[in-house]
Chains A and B, each alone.
Chain A
């Protein structure tokens, strides 16, 4: 078994009477391409929020490598290499695409603390941001405000900010959500071209995407882990088909 990058032990989160995440033991390997699927309300986003420290768990632990990070705040986890994207864009809408990425890089390299050195003189940061934008085919939009971009390209900026943090663990919460299917391939191509050594966990509803991208799939139902395996195993698991894939009859053609 390859090195485990991120894992949870008996992780639970309760909201009043609702147990949103129930006793989850989960392992994300280094260099993983891991998909997390499940019906709406299965607790996938809550699970990501527990991994990133947006929410504290009611019970259980989160480990990055050997280190217990359960008590760490979100910002500290980012410094340790956990980055994420959001299901709904969270961008600096009034700023240019280039600035959006520069802010993330400045934060990563610790430049954002400096109060008297012009940001414009950090050509290393601007240069890195431009190169990243090129790899995502966003260079021509660098000068535009994010709010001026079509939604599909805004999703790319969302991804660019996360990549700019040079994470070792990247959590993608439905990266192509809300993007017309004709354009979603741009985002998914970008996801596929991520550096090999990053451990990627992707929440995705589109089964075609999951089966194309993921080397491992975890199914969540009702806040608990339901099944885990290779895409082929998951696809042929009769119980999974019943609770989840059964809801998407069009998949039958692929089996």
Chain B
């Protein structure tokens, strides 16, 4: 070889797996201690803010919804503006089954919501995912608009504009009943559902399948050229993402005990996109940070300036788009890298100095 091997190469030659890059890749999927924090915070919230538990439910549902979008948008790079279609499908599945007393058990109800949303995701994805970019954006938006109008027009079944109020949701495990006035059961149920879905998604994105999704996001043409069945992968990912959004929608219907057209609207689809971009997409925890920041801002800005609270949010988004493409988490990561880099350089310098 005409290239002089660097010392790093020599070290790596002894045992390739000892290379720091290889070690980092082998450790990436392991659970870190700090990952307990959001769950501890979730439990702490239950005890600290008993009067805000329905707000807490909304927060958990938003996180779950944003998480489902992250799988499609953040990992596979599927740009969609119609993700509320699946949220709504799940919500109406739970709502209609409960209203007509066909199925009120909450856990299996969520599985049915996932099934309905997943089937819609699979069928629409078979057509939509042949396109990319702006075309895809418009088609996802159209799919959602069609579903919204269908829900509006089938008023005999969906309640139309008024929606379906006072859903009779059965008790969890037949024991823990949902109290319409006090959302303690709802909150703990939502927290558990979010946890299960999160573990599922975390496993998924750290698998080789998840790695191939990031490959599709980074360079779809190269994925074709290494023999990857790109269309199938993207469709599977989109279906799972839709099913998870369906669970979020079903959970929303169960914890609020109602469903209406707002489940399917552009408003909801845009909000979840903002939440994810705010927190940082393609990062798992971006959904958590984004939802907390968005809902907190909404809450406090609306108190300070009720007529134009969205202005503050808009300014924040402009800032994120201009200076922090990776969202809040991306910004934190960049700062951490800079700081830890400086620190380790200083430590090395101090050690080198006699």
- B-binding residues in A (CB < 8 A): 52, 54, 74-79, 83-84, 86, 90-99, 102-104, 106-108, 111-123, 125-127, 129-131, 134, 137, 139-140, 142-143, 161, 164-165, 185-186, 189, 193
A165 CA to B225 CA, complexed, in Å: 10
- How far apart sit A21 and B64, CA to CA, in the bound complex (Å)? 52
B12 and A130 contact, CB distance less than 8 A: yes
Chain A residues with Cβ below 8 Å from B3 are 137, 186, 189
Contact B227 A75 (CB under 8 A): yes
Contact B9 A118 (CB under 8 A): no
Q: Could you tell me the distance in whole angstroms from the C-beta of B31 to the nearest C-beta in chain A? A: 11
Residue in chain A with minimal CB distance to B228? A107
CA gap between A125 and B211 in the complex, in Å: 13
Alpha-carbon gap, A117 to B207, bound state (A): 5
* B13 / chain A contacts, CB cutoff of 8 Å: 134, 139
Q: Can you spell out 24 A-B residue pairs with CB atoms less than 8 angstroms apart?
A: A75-B229, A83-B226, A90-B219, A90-B222, A91-B218, A91-B219, A92-B222, A94-B214, A94-B218, A104-B226, A107-B228, A115-B204, A115-B207, A117-B207, A118-B207, A121-B26, A137-B6, A139-B8, A139-B16, A139-B19, A142-B19, A142-B21, A142-B22, A193-B1
Does B41 make an interface contact (CB < 8 A)? no
B225 adjacent to A90 (CB under 8 Å): yes
Q: Once bound together, how far apart are the Cα atoms of A76 and B225, in whole Å?
A: 10
Question: Cβ of A119 and Cβ of B29 under 8 Å apart?
Answer: yes
Task: Give the CA-CA distance A104 to B212 in the complex, in Å.
Answer: 9
Q: Are B2 and A161 in contact (CB under 8 A)?
A: no
Closest to A142 in B: B21
Secondary structure dominating the interface of B? helix
Contacting pair A103 B211 (CB below 8 A): yes
User: Could you give, for residues 301-338 of chain B, a 1 whenever the CB lies within 8 Å of some chain A CB and a 0 otherwise?
Assistant: 00000000000000000000000000000000000000
Taking A95-B218, A112-B228, A165-B227 as contacts, is the C-beta distance between A139 and B208 under 8 angstroms?
no
In B201-229, the 8 Å CB interface with A consists of 203-204, 206-212, 214-215, 218-219, 221-229
B5 to chain A: closest residue by CB: A137
Residues of A within 8 A of B226 (CB): 78, 83, 103-104, 107-108, 161, 164-165
In the complex, the chain B residue whose C-beta lies closest to that of A156 is B3
**By CB atoms of chain A within 10 A, which of B2, B19, B21, B206 has the most?**
B21
Q: Are B215 and A140 in contact (CB under 8 A)?
A: no
Task: Report yes or no: B208 in contact with A79, Cβ–Cβ below 8 A.
Answer: no
A52-B225, A120-B28 as given contacts; A126 in contact with B22, CB under 8 Å: yes
- Inter-chain pairs besides A93-B219, A120-B25, 7 sampled, C-beta below 8 Å: A86-B225, A91-B218, A92-B214, A92-B215, A95-B218, A137-B9, A193-B1
Chain B min CB distance to A49 (Å)? 11
Interchain CB contact under 8 A, B207 and A131? no
A130 near B29 with CB under 8 A, answer no
Query: With A95-B214, A120-B25, A130-B19 known to touch, is A186 a contact of B222 (CB < 8 Å)?
Result: no
**Minimum Cβ distance to chain B for residue A128 (Å):** 9
Q: How far is the CA of A74 from the CA of B224 in the complex (A)?
A: 7
CA distance A60 to B229 in the complex (A): 26
Bound-state Cα–Cα, A165 to B227, Å: 9
List 9 tightest A-B contacts by C-beta distance, closest first.
Answer: A78-B227, A142-B21, A143-B21, A140-B8, A130-B16, A92-B218, A118-B29, A90-B222, A139-B12
Q: Is the CB of A139 within 8 A of B9?
A: yes
Residues of B within 8 A of A123 (CB): 17, 26
Contacts of B230 in A (CB 8 A): 75
Q: A140–B19 Cα gap in the complex (Å)?
A: 8
- The complex places the Cα of A185 from the Cα of B3 at a distance, in Å, of 9
Instruction: Tell me, in angstroms, the Cα distance from A210 to B214 when the chains sit together.
Output: 37
Residues of chain B within 8 A (CB-CB) of A137 are 1, 3, 5-6, 9
Query: Is B27 engaged at the interface, CB distance under 8 Å to the other chain?
Result: yes
- Interface pair B225/A78, CB less than 8 Å apart: yes
Least CB distance, B204 to chain A, in whole angstroms: 6
- Contact: B9 with A134, CB < 8 Å? yes
Question: B12 and A134: CB pair below 8 A?
Answer: yes
Minimum C-beta distance from A191 to chain B (A): 13
Closest beta carbon of chain B to A189's beta carbon, Å:
5
Please give me the residue from chain B that is nearest to A93 by CB atom: B218
Which of A120, A185, A189 makes the CB contact (< 8 A) with B26?
A120
Determine which of A75, A111, A112 lies in contact with B224 in the assembled complex, contact meaning CB atoms within 8 Å: A75
Q: In this assembly, does B352 line the interface, its C-beta being within 8 Å of a C-beta of chain A?
A: no
A101–B233 alpha-carbon span in the complex (Å): 19
B102 at the interface (CB under 8 A from A): no
Pick the contact of A114 from B22, B209, B227 — CB < 8 Å? B209
Q: Which of B30, B210, B219, B233 contacts A119 (CB 8 A)?
A: B210
In the assembled complex, which residues on chain B have CB atoms less than 8 Å from the CB atom of A126? 17, 22, 25-26
Which residues of B lie under 8 Å from residue A127 when comparing CB positions?
A: 16-17, 22
B207/A116 in contact, CB under 8 A: yes
B207 and A114 form a contact (CB under 8 A): yes
Q: A140 contacts B9, CB within 8 Å?
A: yes
User: In whole Å, how far is B198's beta carbon from the nearest beta carbon of chain A?
Assistant: 14
Judging by beta carbons under 8 Å apart, are B225 and A114 in contact? no
Contact assessment for B25 and A121 in the assembled complex, using a CB-CB cutoff below 8 Å: no
Question: What is the CA–CA distance of A94 and B210 in the complex, to the nearest angstrom?
Answer: 15
Contact of A102 among B211, B219, B222, B223 (CB under 8 A): B211
Is residue B20 contacting chain A, with contact meaning CB distance below 8 A? yes
Question: B208 to A186, Cβ gap below 8 A?
Answer: no
In the complex, A2 Cα to B121 Cα: how many Å? 52
The answer, yes or no, to whether B156 is at the interface (CB within 8 Å) is no
